Structure 1
Amino acid sequence: MHVTIRLFAGLAEVMGSSSLAFHFHESPLTAGRLKELLSASYPEAAPQIKVSLVAIDHEYAPDDSVISEASEVALIPPVSGGEPAAEDAETPDGRFSITDLPLNGEALLDKVLDVNHGASLLFVGTTREMTGAQRTTALHYEAYIPMALAKLEEIGNEVEERWNARCAIAHRTGLVALKEASVMIAVSAPHRDSCYEASRYAIERLKASVPVWKKDISDSGEQWLGADPHAKDYPKL
């Protein structure tokens, strides 16, 4: 069985490619077994493969999930919120997007305003210069775009169901300079308490489950962030 596996962030750098065509003699092939076989075939990448998750058809897959030749398969390193977006990618209603262009908070907020909602919030996440003693000069973001859009829309549906709120999310890819926005989340709700809760929930869920990675660029070099599988940003199945 031939399977093409998409690779992202630090794992793609170690493997030297953003995709890998691999032939497996086993059938059925499970997600857990896939990682074992890849680790054995590419020992130099085994540490990164071990802490990565398998995604099948844009959903995180438990180890016992079966892979077919028709499946779209990806290895997802711990997220830190790939492929740079060549153009804007968004859901049909325009409320969820991945883009390499500057984000527009006013336009995003306009997508969630409702005549029956008395509260609205715009969360803006920006690149900061200092993290402890570490100085950042810029961040570079990459995303598994189809899956990232699906997860953003999933978060929006959860927000609507739990708080009767409307939600829109935009995330950057590519180079994001200091003080520049990497993510914006707009929320509107009938009352302010639920609006605050929904906004906080959306950013925490985004950081935990959306396949977006960031590389810290500093005077001393570059480093992919989020490589610790025990960090809170790592999605748990």
Structure 2
Amino acid sequence: MNITTKWRIHLFAGLAERLGTRLLEVAFPEARLEAGEIKRRLAERYPEQADLIAVSFVARNQAFAADDAFVGREDELALLPPVSGGMPEEAENEAAARREADRYAILEDTLDTAAVLSAVSHPDHGAALLFVGTTREWTGGKRTVTLEYEAYLPMARAALKTIGEEIGERWPGTLCAIHHRIGTVGIGEASVLIAVSAPHRAGGYEASRYAIERLKMTVPIWKKEVYEDGTAWQGHQLGPWDPLATPDAEGGRR
């Protein structure tokens, strides 16, 4: 009886570009391995990319796995480099799912500020804030032509929802909606919208900042900057990438 030894590992952004594929099929005899061991073996196989592999994280079934966590050959695995009818109960569940989709979305189309603000509208809230992240033309003395975003879609949507849940726990009653664009985003165009509504403005400001910092740290969305003379994948630029780190009050690492 033939037993397959192939492990399938999805790749994204700069890692996929460097290795020339979005799906690695590698033969390991074991059926289960620690995530860190998989990274170590891939680094040996691709020594020129060892530094990038070392700071990447393994995802198992669309959730981050620590290096000492065991993953299986049959799991859905990805290596993520640094960088969301009829019965009444069924109808209610469907409506809840639609509301959630309205609040946490990854879109290829132009982002709609009215839609994301509407998703957090609440009659008892006295403050609504909207953060708009746009493409700037000049960064570090280099002229950007466009930005190109890609995402690990199901995991990214789940990560956006998690940010909203964290905000609800830290600032009870606060609502959050996050819409992120993928594909090509031109100069001056919005790549991310974050809307927050809260009973009082102080909590809204804090939650809004928390949301963007957590997005940069935990959501598997990558950005390629296209310059006049080349391209570069840009990480989150907040220090070593560790999406499993405990967030501080502002969404950074602790």
Percent identity at matched positions?
50
Q: Contact 2:148–2:223 (CA<8 Å) still a contact in 1?
A: yes
Letter matched to residue 205 of structure 2: Y
CA distance in 2, matches of 1:162, 1:51: 29
What residue is the counterpart of 1:71 in the other structure?
75
Give me the whole-angstrom Cα distance separating, in 2, the residues matched to 1:72 and 1:177: 33
Instruction: Give the structure 2 partner of residue 183 of structure 1.
Output: 192
1:191 counterpart letter in structure 2: H
CA distance in 2, matches of 1:227, 1:114: 32
Alignment of 1:41-120 (within 5 A): 41-79=45-83, 92=98, 93-94=100-101, 95-120=103-128
Deviations 1:89-144, CA, capped at 9 Å, x for gaps: xx642210111111001011101100011100111000001123121111111111
Work out the CA distance in 2 between the residues paired with 1:227 and 1:154: 18
Which residue matches 2:251?
none
Residue identity matched to 1:21: E
Give unpaired runs (5+ residues) of structure 2.
84-96, 245-254
Name 2:203's counterpart in structure 1: 194
C-alpha contact (below 8 Å) 1:208/1:232 kept by paired residues: no
Q: Aligned to 1:206, what secondary structure does the other structure show?
A: helix
Q: Does residue 141 of structure 2 align to residue 133 of structure 1?
A: yes
- Whole-angstrom CA distance in 2 between matches of 1:186 and 1:236: 22
Q: CA–CA distance in 2 between the matches of 1:146 and 1:22? A: 24
In the TM superposition, residue 40 of structure 1 has moved relative to its aligned partner by: 1.6
Partners in 2 of 1:236 and 1:207 — Cα distance? 9
3-state secondary structure, aligned to 2:123 = coil
1:210 has 2:215 as partner: no
TM-score, normalization by structure 2: 0.84
Match of 1:11 in 2: 15
TM-score normalized by the length of structure 1: 0.90
Structure scoring higher RCO (CA < 8 A, sep ≥ 6) equals 1
What is the correspondence of 1:12-51 to structure 2 with a 5 Å cutoff?
A: 12-51=16-55
In structure 2, what is the equivalent of residue 83 of structure 1?
Answer: none
- 1:24 is aligned with what amino acid? F
CA contact (8 A) 1:77 1:227 kept: no
Query: Which of these two proteins has the greater Rg computed from alpha carbons?
Result: 2
2:178 to 166, 169, 181: 169
What is the RMSD of the two structures over their aligned residues, measured on CA atoms? 1.6
